[in-house]
Structure 1
């Protein structure tokens, strides 16, 4: 009898212990947009767990497993949060969208846009999506523009023939014949003619890449570099004879090739001097006590962050250089004419121009980042190589501002049309192709 009572008592204890164990909360992991959260719960469903943890889910968010599902055996719940961004495609209205895509290129693909070489995308296709960001995409189309006896290939974001001619600074009178009509919609590969002509001469310019030469210099500290000569690409001009019938090019024959600008290599001095023990001690004593990011010449006061610090040895893709006709103005680094930081004059990207108008030997220009991304190298006919490191409230669209040494030089320069070539880095081109 006693044995029976003992067995019953043990059974009751086992049941009680099992019930107690089952009532104890178990740990579950919630990964909310990459943030790991540990939570103890007795809940059986995903929605119950998230409610207990005080986590709110919006309609555009994605939860795995689904909210109505049971807690998974591995006890891990993933939440992908939708980011709210503004999106403008072409000349359409700016739309506010919720997206879970990772990059700008992914968002554009989701809306049926496959970015082509030469298209204007801001920010770049590889930029990670953040809430509140604005994405602008504008396809660039190639046109053959024939004015009288002259022809040229232009790249434009205009939507009509009239806008394309205005952008190219072509004035149309009532006596002119324009084909297609001024109101016609621009399309890639279109030929626009003004004053019909059958025998036409067309010129096309092409950049020839320069070579980067590294030379050891025993006067520079080891690990340091210095640009002793800025590279200048060659400029090759090809002449074509065109036959035009009813506004369509029916024959195109190359007649002459002329080298307008000879190539000049870029020479970079590479330091080989090893500091003596005494010099090293002196440099260490003179070094600032504060932690300073010595890897970048751009200060934290930058109003517009540059994605990647440009380097003198960056590989440039001259074959993909985009030719643009821009309106050029001039400005200076005069402290009296701009905002200063601790007495120093900075570009909007944070580069100190108090004592220089150059970066790695290249002239600094202000641009519209939606047209020319900051950090991009630009070849300016008549000036040579320049680099986009600044912006301005009046610099919108195909306008650039060239930094000059003096105010007198800037005033003398005034405002004039210039032809420039925007030269992408090789990896940027590959990134666009892969998008």
Structure 2
């Protein structure tokens, strides 16, 4: 028949050394367990950084134990429900106010996000492929900043445009210089233009030509211009010339006041070329107009032109673009005076 030992009898039956070992092992396990729960944690907030030894299991538990106030808009990294581990670094980002412009809407918002990109993600702002964000997504946010989302849209516009005609010049030596004739009327053409228009916040910022198609070709205007040096004189005669010069004209006679010679003087009335002076003879600077040149003197002030002339004389005061016209009597010479004329050097 079985019998049971009492408490004292039981202890007598158990190896005392073994019992002590078990108790020691249990104590050791508890100690290791407590050490495992003990963690070194860093908390960064309000410009401070604190190292804390804690047995707290979550971020929220530790923050509450430390008496740190966290507002709803503040951001804690890692999150409040995250389990604490050895060397966990907790950063509390304090919320601040910024201005957000989205398209044409502007509002003040409170955020604790660190960068523009984080803000966009938190607000769940959907960005189109061509939308722009200013400043750059990687920019760090600071209190008072303004973040702008520029909504970019595009459209295709098709319109018709007139194509101006070109003018083609044809030169004709048989026509008098300055004469023009229209040989063909110009007609504008028409083209279809496909435009790509870009808008930023509904305001047009760019207009680019994507494609052009000619619907109707333009017809060029053709103008004929005379290049022949043909002069029509006051009498209606046509004369070809090789050069035209605007000159200052004066008038002279064969008398003593103009030449310093009197009748009876062997050189009275004799030109620098040795010819007898007569109406139509003019004095020139031979360096400008060679002696013997045939000329036509045209008035520029609506008075009668001097007409056809011959460069046969010279004069001490006739230098450069100056010409002296011979008149038979002094009253005509005085009436002419000095004036600008156009001198044609004839072929």
Give the TM-score of the pair, scaled to structure 2. Answer: 0.31
The structure whose residues are more often strand, as a share, is 2
TM (norm. structure 1) is 0.25
| Greater gyration radius | 2
